[in-house]
Amino acid sequence: MTSPKLKSNLDLINECDSFPYPHKSRQLYSQHLHTYYHLRIPTHLNTTLGYLLPSVALTLSNLPDWSVDDTSTPKTVTLTTGEDESTRSAAVEKTCLAMRETGHFAVLEKWRGELYPVYGPGPGREVLFNIERSASPLFGVVSYGVHMTAYTGEEREVKIWVPRRSSTKQTYPSLLDNTVAGGIPSGESPFNALLRESLEEASLPSDLVRRLAKPAGCVTYFYIRDSRAGGETGLLQPECQYVYDLDLTEDGEGVVPTPNDDEVEGFELMGLGEVRGCLGRGEFKPNCAVVMIDFMVRHGYLNREEEGDYVEIVSRLHRFLEFPLG
């Protein structure tokens, strides 16, 4: 029996950044755009805030506060209620609760009680409305998160703390994750989200994270959800992940991340070879694989000499998202 083929770094990028690119296949890209409905609000009728599947648009066409236009190009779904953030958010919440009550969308079964911001265009980072976290893929809006890689050692001897997700999680059970990862709810800064998640997921105290965590940019991608994500497949999930490094080599000597909730089974200190093997076997959650590749690029563990797809990989780690960003 032959061993299964290992995934390349570009395979892992393609798995997470799976929405078509117009320069690669204009026809496929156009087919996708013509299939989806563009989310709008009356004060920003020329700005698309997200993409919705036809099944979601059909459901909204039967609910108050929404107008669905099947004849326009592009097809649109417009939130008609509200002149400010609070009234729009209330209308969106009412809609999401109604859809949850009907049980029509399985993705809403994992209701988080956590709000994500949806931003408008321009430099002001205006929040147009907030939406329940579990509902955000139904509306195809950009969501935001923080991912941190904790490591120790230098050069090729570096070792990385890698957690394994709980086997009971509804999303990506038993897959490997980044040391700390989580969403950024509305009103919370990326670094404060990191402090909270570090304590919740890895028992890393805030004073340690404040002292040692270093911001290292962000990773953006456009994911089309598969069955491992839980709920409906094909939902659209553009994301921006703020990434941080936590070097425990000196000041963090003796620090051992430990689970502080039921989302992680445990942590393992892995060498680069082990991490690469797990990546190749597809053992990482898709977006965590991308963040890990970004870490290896930034630290010089992945370079042009050993990776033929290096330039495409580096560019794909920072996808241009065609929506307003916060």
pLDDT of residue 169: 82
Confidence of residue 3 (pLDDT cuts 50, 70, 90): low
pLDDT of residue 262: 80
Task: Answer yes or no: is pLDDT of 57 > 70.
Answer: yes
- The arithmetic mean of pLDDT across residues 100-125, rounded, is 92
pLDDT of residue 132: 98
pLDDT of residue 2: 63
**Structural domain boundaries in the chain:** 9-17+143-316, 36-139
Q: 36-139, what's its fold? A: Transcription Regulator spoIIAA (3.30.750)
Confidence of residue 23 (pLDDT cuts 50, 70, 90): confident
Q: How far apart are CA 233 and CA 196, in angstroms?
A: 30
Percent of the chain with pLDDT over 70: 99
Q: 9-17+143-316, what's its fold? A: Nucleoside Triphosphate Pyrophosphohydrolase (3.90.79)
Structure confidence by residue, pLDDT tens digits, 181-212:
999 999 999 999 999 999 999 999 999 999 99
